[in-house]
Structure formats: structure tokens, C-alpha cells
Structure 1
Amino acid sequence: MAAAPPDLVPASRRSAADLARLGEEISDRHSVTLESMLAILRSPQLSDQAARSLAIDVAAAGLVELRTQTDEHRDAILEPVVGAFERLRSDLRPLVRFGELDVQFVEPPSSGRALPGEVAHAARAMVRSAVLAFVDAGEARRVRIQWDCDGLNLLVRIRDDGRGDLTVQDDAMRPIGQRVAALDGTVVVSSTPGWGSEVQITLPLDPPAPDEPLQDQEGLSPREREVLRLLAEGRRNKEIAEALGVSVNTIKFHVSKLLRKTGARTRAEIAAIAR
């Protein structure tokens, strides 16, 4: 039986195949990085200091490449809320294992709604930043991290038992506030002197609804409407270019215009709104 042409393959199957391919690519790159580090550390031709320095360089370059690659694709990925929380626990494991901070995790219900990749990634980064802020203050001995989901928002709470003088204007909180604002969320910091501080973050799981359906908005050209339809199907720029018989750069130009006209931040937001 002949394979279905690309235009007839369901978007869900294409997305699953793309994610599987991405996973394989990341796994291969990760394996190469680890094998390179092992080879360096085992090399009899390098001193201990030289081996450590070179291994650090390889690890740093691998992390940059890995994060760049995953950042390009995470908008299209949904993470189960429990799985996203487990990744956070894994991120903080070295701090829990080797530090003096007692980190308590309150897991979200397993029935919680899956998180958009951008929200899950940002939430983990915010929690890490908050925990490190508590550690830098030098007074906290215990931190409690809780995630929950009300169906529309991811609810994050981080509480410590430190001095209780943290405010939303503190330097350590500014990066968190910027990330929250970028996702149209809210952050509240409550502190009680001598009893600790609590950071409460609310992150919407859906982009803001437009005033009218994208397809009905005035000012979209016929070509932009075609690009929009294919974006909603989960097509990548290359696939859209092939389907419309134009160059990838032309599609990038149309996507940038759609971003500007709709006020969306990412192509994933355009696709979600269009759907």
C-alpha cells in the first residue's frame, strides 16, 4: 500500500513523528557529549586539572546546544503536569543531595491538565530561581514547593523559613517577574519577618483569546490565511513552503507578519488561537 502524501497525513501523526525524531536527535547528541566527557576524564595524556577544564567546556557547550534545540521545539510539546513536576524535582536533586537545604515537594494531582511546553519550562526556571534566591539569602533551612492546576492555570507556591524580608522588587525576583509577565501571569510575594517568605505564581495555560477569530480578522491577505491554516495543522515552515510552492524565507516573512498582526508571541500561540 502506497504511503499517503504529506498533505494527507494527519497533523497528529506528523507531530508524533516530529517529536520522536527530536527525541532521538537529543538522545544522540547527549550520548556523544557524555562519551566525550568520559574519554577526556579517562585520558592518560591529560593532567587532572586539564581534564576537568576540558570536560567542563564540553559539558557547557553540550548544554547550550541542547537548550537551544529544545527551546525551538518546546512550544509544540505538551507535558503531563506530574511529569513536568518530576523534571523539576530532578533539576533540584543535586541541591537537595549535597546542600544543607531541606526541600519538600508537594506533587500536583495526576489528573491535572497537561502543560504547554513553554509554561512547564518557564515554571521550572522560576522555581529554580526562587530556591536559589532563598539559598543566597543564607537564612533558609527548609523550602516547600507546591504545584497545582485549576484547569485554566498552573498554580505554583514556594515557601521558605528564612528571614521573611523578600519582596517582589528584590533583584532576585526581577527575572521571575519578567518571565511571569511574558506569559500573562501574576506573581505575589508575601513575607513575615522572622517566619519566612512565600512566592505565589499563577500561569495561564492558554494564550489570551483574540477579540475575533483569526480567520475573520480584516487585514489578513489570502496568502497569510493559507499560512495560518497550515500553522494550525502543526506544519513546520519547510512543510508550509513545500505545500504552497514558495521558499522557507517567504514563509518566515508571512509568520512574522502574522505575529505582528495578531499580537501573538510565538507561532505556537498563533496555531492554538487559530484552532
Structure 2
Amino acid sequence: MTPGLAPAPDPAELATRELLLEHAHTAAEQADRQALALESILAILRSGRLSDTAARTMAIDVAAAALVQIRVATDEQREAMLEPVVGAFARLQADLRPLARFGDLDVQFVEPPVTGRALPGEVAHAARAIVRSAVLAFVDTGVTRRVRIQWDCDGLNLLIGIRDDGRGELTAHDDSLRPIAERVTALDGKLNVASTPGWGSELSIALPLDPPAEPDHLTDVVTLSPREREVLRLLASGSRNKDIARTLGISDNTVKFHVSNLLRKAGARSRAELVAQAR
């Protein structure tokens, strides 16, 4: 480094800062939209120009639309927060560098293929935390001198392998591995611990790269009549009772009857919850 000049910024650190700033900006925008929706609902409910029925219907419509916006924004944010698997692994190496530099631990890294699928931010963060926790658990035994860390990707899962040269006494129920097991479970992953006395222990972890499958649509799990399906479709599109009645050529009371049946069958406590399930 040239005297008097600041060291060049770490590219991984810069990328992380950019991701965090983008995340903070998105979160602020979401908070503003949610605040606007709540203010609109309060204004509707407080309005003296609307009947109780009209105010309730309008408030439900605003709440349902806000729920859909939150869902869409969350999905977009999840897709945007991706880390290349190689970059995520490089950050892990940087995290563990002090252990190798200032301790007696020999950390060996087996890098993932450069063509590996990008990792969702939540998975990348959890994977690094899991590896750090595992390495510290090995070090705490007092006999581990070598740790081998390997990442791979099969297209659906991030595969993590961590092996030490310790006593080989660790089990899946060991207290030191509890934080790891909790993180893996939270991501719907799998953890396997294999130990050979005198030869060391190995942790094999698989973290899904995609979120769990969404529940089946309401129309797939609840038996609905053709008319109930039509009413539900119009409700989900934002139509009010009068609009539904006019579209289907039925009375307002008949619409209310169908909506009541839909609420009961779906186990929903409100029209907004029913619409959210339908969407």
C-alpha cells in the first residue's frame, strides 16, 4: 500500500453495503405504504358521510389491497436480495480469517463451483452464521486443530459440509449444536451429524434455496358451489356486494348469503382475510 493512501475498499464489503442500503430504502417505502393504508382506513371509519355498512366495505377493500401490495413487495424484495454463491463463500472466508491468523486452527476451504445458483440473502446469511457457529463449537472442544469447510449447490439446495479432526463425540443432540439446528429448522433445511471416535465429526447441512411451497388456493382445498366461486372471484377482484349482485343478476341479500357461507367454509374472520386467502 502506498504511504498516505487509504487501503482500497473490499469489493465484498461494498456490495454488502449496497444491498443493505437498498434493503433499507425498500423497507422505508413499504412502511410508508402501510402507514398510508392505515390512515385511509381510519379516515373511512371516521367519516360522517358514510353509513356503517359503506364504511366497513370500503375499509375492507383498502385493507385487502394493502395486503396484496405487501405480498407482492415481499416477493420482489426476496428476489432482489441475491448473493452469488462464490461471493457469499468469499465473505465466509473473510469472517473466519482471524481464527486461522491468530489461532492454531487450520481452516481448509473447498470453494463452490462458480456456476452455482445465486443464494437468497436470508440463506446466505444463515449459512455463514451456521458455519461460524460450527467452527466455534469444534474449537471449544480444545482438541480440534483442523476444520474442512465445503459448499456446493445442487440447484435446489445449498449443501454445506463441515468436518473436524477432533474426538468424534458430537451428536445431533449436543447443546453446542442447538443454535445450528434451530437455524436449519427455521429455513426448512436438514442437518445430519456423523462422528467417528478418534477421527472427528462431520456436519452435513442442506438449506433449500426456495421458500416452502405456498398453501393450496382456497378453491383447491374447500368445496365451493359454482355460484360461490363466482362470488369469491369478484370479491378477490375488489368488487363490492352491489357490484357483485349487478354482475351476477342476484340480490344483495343473496350475495351476503354467499359471502357468509364463504367465510364459514374458509374459516375466515373477515372479508379481508377471505380475500387474502383467495388471492
Q: Shorter-normalised TM-score: what interval?
A: 0.5 to 0.7
Distance 1:204 1:164, change over 3 A: same
Whole-Å Cα distance in 2 between the matches of residues 225 and 120 of structure 1? 37
Mark the CA change 1:211 to 1:138 in structure 2 (over 3 Å): closer, same or farther. same
Which consecutive residues of structure 1, in runs of 5 or more, have no partner in the other structure?
1-17, 26-72, 227-256, 263-273
Q: Name the SS of the counterpart of 2:112 in structure 1.
A: coil
Question: Which letter maps to 1:174?
Answer: R
In structure 2, the CA distance between the partners of 1:213 and 1:151, relative to structure 1 (3 Å rule), is: farther
Matched, 1:137 2:104: no
Measure the CA separation in 2 of the matches of 1:209 and 1:74: 15
Cα distance in structure 2, aligned partners of 1:121 and 1:89: 13
For residue 204 of structure 1, what is the aligned residue in structure 2?
208
CA RMSD after TM alignment: 3.5
Aligned partner of 1:171 among 175, 184, 187:
175
Partner in structure 2 of residue 153 of structure 1: 157
3-state SS of the aligned residue for 2:140? helix
In the alignment, the residues of structure 2 paired with residue 127 and residue 212 of structure 1 have an alpha-carbon distance, to the nearest angstrom, of 35
Report the identity percentage: 66
After superposition, give the CA deviation of every residue in 1:44-82 in whole Å (9 maximum; x if it has no partner): xxxxxxxxxxxxxxxxxxxxxxxxxxxxx8885100000
Deviations for 1:213-262, whole angstroms, at most 9, x for unmatched residues? 589888x9989888xxxxxxxxxxxxxxxxxxxxxxxxxxxxxx79x969
Corresponding residue to 1:97 among 80, 97, 101: 101
- The residue aligned with 1:32 is none
Q: Which runs of 4+ in 1 moved over 2 A?
A: 18-25, 73-76, 210-218, 220-226
Q: 1:94 to 1:211 in 2, by over 3 A?
A: same
Query: Does the CA contact (< 8 Å) of 1:75 and 1:117 recur in 2?
Result: no
Look up the SS of the partner of 2:211 in the other structure. coil
**TM-score, length-scaled by structure 1:** 0.54
Query: Does the 8 Å CA contact 2:218/2:277 hold for their aligned counterparts?
Result: no
- Contact kept, 8 Å, 1:75 with 1:118, in 2: the verdict is no
SS at match of 1:84: helix
Assess, with a 3 A threshold, how the Cα gap between structure 1 residues 123 and 19 changes in structure 2: closer, same or farther.
closer
Assess, with a 3 A threshold, how the Cα gap between structure 1 residues 222 and 122 changes in structure 2: closer, same or farther.
farther
Separation of aligned partners in 1, 2:122 and 2:159: 15
Secondary structure of 2:135 counterpart: helix
Q: 1:209 to 1:97 in 2, by over 3 A?
A: same
Paired residue for 2:131? 127
Whole-angstrom distance in 1 between the partners of 2:103 and 2:237: 54
Question: Quick one: distance in 2 between partners of 1:78 and 1:191?
Answer: 34
In structure 2, the CA distance between the partners of 1:153 and 1:23, relative to structure 1 (3 Å rule), is closer
- Aligned pairs for 1:1-275 (under 5 A) are 19=19, 21-22=21-22, 76-212=80-216
Cα separation, 2, equivalents of 1:88 and 1:223 = 49
For residue 88 of structure 1, what is the amino acid of its counterpart? Answer: L
Residue segments in structure 2 that go unaligned for 5+ positions in a row = 1-17, 26-76, 223-231, 239-272
* Partner SS for 2:96: helix
Query: How far off is 1:170 after superposition?
Result: 0.7
Is the Cα contact below 8 Å between 2:217 and 2:277 reproduced in 1? Answer: no
